[in-house]
Amino acid sequence: MSTVVMDRRPTSASSSGPRTRLRVSLWLLVGLLALATARVVADADDIDSPGTLRAGLVLAMPIALAGLGGLWSERAGVVNIGLEGMMILGTLGAGYYTYHWGVWAGLLGAMVFGAIGGVLHAVATVVFGVDHIVSGVAVNIIAAGAAAFLAEVFFSGLQGGGPTQSPSLPEPPSFDFPVLADASTDLSAKGWFLLSDAGSVLSALTNDMSVFTLLALAAIAGSGWLLWRTAFGLRLRSCGEAPSSAETLGVNVYRYKFLAVTISGMLAGFAGCYLAVVASSGYANGQTNGRGFIGLAAMIFGNWRPGGLLAGSLLFGYTDAARLRSGGESVHALLLILAVGLLLLAVWQVRRGHRTSAIVAIVAAVVVAVWFALTDAIPGDFTQMTPYVTTLLVLSLASQRLRMPAADGLRYRRGQAG
């Protein structure tokens, strides 16, 4: 039994690294080609403009950070439905500390506030064995109520503030990459097929890049390295796979679970800070708007891995930015990509012998294609649903390959291995 826990995953991960990077590169190329084709066919220039892609990146980062917090917690075996509440606490901490002491104090304060929510969830689930879902829902309710009360205490009477919002907050530093930023922007403006689309991506990544965005990306990459390439990460993940076996090998399961859930809260607090000072201009009650739950969905879509959750977050952020910037025009162009994707899904289902699923996919593809052909834009009411419909669609298509940690959500008590 012990060999299941203390396997050589860092070694296998390193051997599969080149294949993974090649697969990711191919998917990125396919996605870029799809966007370039949709831009030309539907004459929707804003579908992958630098502004849209930059906005999509900004909207994706809070979701990715919340999902990363969920990954830390669930890899240690603790389901964290309370990410939304921890994110709410992060927005409040960012609003208070950023206003009084600047953006770096705001980031630290947000992470501390988020960690408080994480500690509360860890005490309930790890120490007292409370059901993880019940505890997470309680954290969300407590955080929402506490934030509404403290916002009135913190911000009432301040110039530009009020009982439900903070005054306008300063933004963290941002910068451009010399030469590359201007060259990529010029290339994106030429309208060339695929080349200009690649220029738009590069322009979005090299112009007006927030330091907080770089920190968020570094947190995602660093978490991947720490959890899959170090002994610490192997022990932590063993707590989510087979905690009893880990205990027999000398791993302090309680300590690792408690630490993982606390870090989860800190990352959710960072997500709240990013939302308050980068994606918005200050704290406001209810500004998370379910992003903690969407981060949880992105983590599931990513199969409990950092790279996958980043891809899911970028997908949601992009679709949200597309409908905000150009509304029905860009969403209408995305219908073409959806129709082609459904046809490819039908071909894949036929090859697997799932004829019923293939027929459903073909019918859906035809409906979407007819919708695209008979309309010039999507009604405004539907565009509001686009990010959520996209998330549900992708999750449903990815559900067959998902594998959650074996002991995720299960109650653990010290000594139960014996």
- CA neighbor of 312 nearest in space, from 120, 110, 123, 63: 63
Positive or negative: CA dihedral 397, 400, 401, 404: positive
Most distant CA atoms of the chain, gap in Å: 69
Rounded distance, CA 393 to CA 287, Å?
Answer: 25
Instruction: Provide, rounded to the nearest whole percent, the portion of the chain with pLDDT above 90.
Output: 64
Listed residue (387, 384, 374) closest to 339, CA to CA? 374
Q: Domain 42-326 class?
A: mainly alpha
- The pLDDT value recorded for residue 417 is 59
Residue entry with tokens 């709410």 = 88
Nearest 5°: phi and psi at 251? -80, 130
pLDDT of 393 reads: 73
Degrees to nearest 5, angle at CA 318 with 312 and 319: 95
Containing 174, the helix (H) or strand (E) segment is strand 174-175
* pLDDT the model gives residue 354: 82
* Residues of the chain with confidence (pLDDT) below 70: 1-17, 20, 394-400, 416-418
The pLDDT value given to residue 390: 74
Distance of alpha carbon 329 from alpha carbon 45, whole angstroms: 9
- Cα 223 to chain center, whole Å? 14
- Kindly tell me the sign of the dihedral angle through the C-alpha atoms of 319, 328, 335, 185: negative
Q: In the structure encoding, which two tokens stand for residue 367, read together?
A: 């409906």
Report yes or no: 302 and 295 within 8 Å, Cβ to Cβ.
no
- How far is Cα 296 from Cα 283, in angstroms, rounded to an integer? 22
pLDDT of residue 212: 97
Contact 130, 124 (CB under 8 A): yes
Whether 337 contacts 38, CB under 8 Å: yes
CA distance 311 to 265: 21
Q: Which residues pair with 162 in a beta bridge?
A: 165
- Residue 269 has a pLDDT of 98
Helical pair 83-101 and 103-122, crossing angle rounded to 10 deg: 150
pLDDT at 10: 44
Cα separation, 294 vs 319, in Å, equals 13
| pLDDT of res. 399 | 62
Task: Note the pLDDT tens digit of each residue in 309-320.
Answer: 998 899 889 988
Of the candidates 141, 131, 158, 125, the residue with the CA atom closest to the CA atom of residue 88: 141
Please report where in the chains the tokens 């330091």 appear, as a residue.
Answer: 211
**Mind giving me the DSSP string for 219-242?**
HHHHHHHHHHHSHHHHHHHHHHH-
Q: Is 175 helix (H, G, I), strand (E, B) or coil?
A: strand
Q: Check: CB of residue 274 under 8 Å from CB of residue 65.
A: yes
CB atoms within 10 A of CB 379: 11
